[in-house]
Amino acid sequence: MSKKGVFGLAIYVIPSIILLALALIFFSFIFFTDFTQPKNIVVESFKDDTLLLNLLRTPIEVNGEKINIADFIARKELRSEDEFKQDWNLIKQKADLVFEHCYPSGGGTIAWKLLIYNMDEDINLPALEEYKYYHVLNCYCDTNIDKIQSVNVPLVSSNKFVKVVLVECLRGRKAAC
């Protein structure tokens, strides 16, 4: 074949190959994109703190006294450490009723913790005391935080406050609430 013939052939063959490759990419894009499936608008930006607020407002009965969970936490230092931990089980039972409904097995999980700070201290410093309560054990919440709700509860007997933190670990799963 002459030089001119090879050049002439290349002019058509190379663009044709490129064009076919492009057409293949274009149509495979359309083929693999499922346009028939309705797009769902996700509402993760919707901040709703009512779960934690209502949990803290939930009435409980401790030693015959009717109080809510926030009041129980606010009076933490009026009890000994052992008494507080013992009474905390009542709260845990109540909270678990809610969590079991909102985070059924196979769905997301939840953890909550109490962080105690001095009132005039920088909140970014490590907490004076920390209590962690997991609804489901082995929930690696620190690395899989999907949503955080927090409320500060001042302690009645000292110049401290408790930051109550609720952490949802959804890891792609859905919570019922």
Partner 1 sequence: MNKKADVEAEFIVWVFRIFVVGVIVVFIYVATYNYLSSRIDTTEFENSLLASKLLYSPSCLAYESDKPLPGIIDIKKFTKENLRDCYDKKDFGYVLTLKDLNNTKINSIEVLNEEQKMFFPICKGNQYYDCSTKEKYVLIKENEELKPTFLVVEVIKRV
Tell me which stretch binds partner 1 (CB under 8 A): 30-38, 112-120, 137-145, 150-158. Answer: 30-38
Binding to partner 1 (CB under 8 A) within 82-141 occurs at 94, 97-98, 101-102
Dig out the tokens for 98 from the structure.
């809610």
What is the spatial distance between Cα 145 and Cα 153, in angstroms, rounded to a whole number? 22
Candidate list 14, 59, 81, 171; residue touching partner 1; CB under 8 A? 59
Tell me which stretch binds partner 1 (CB under 8 A): 26-34, 82-90, 131-139, 157-165. Answer: 26-34
Residue 70 CB, shortest distance to partner 1, in Å, is 12
Packing angle, helices 81-102 and 50-57, rounded to 10 = 130
Candidate list 57, 85, 132, 171; residue touching partner 1; CB under 8 A? 57
Tokens 């406050």 locate to 161
Q: Which residues bind partner 1 (CB under 8 A)?
A: 12, 15-16, 19, 22-23, 26-27, 30, 33, 35-36, 38-43, 46, 48, 50-51, 53-55, 57-59, 68, 94, 97-98, 101-102, 176-177
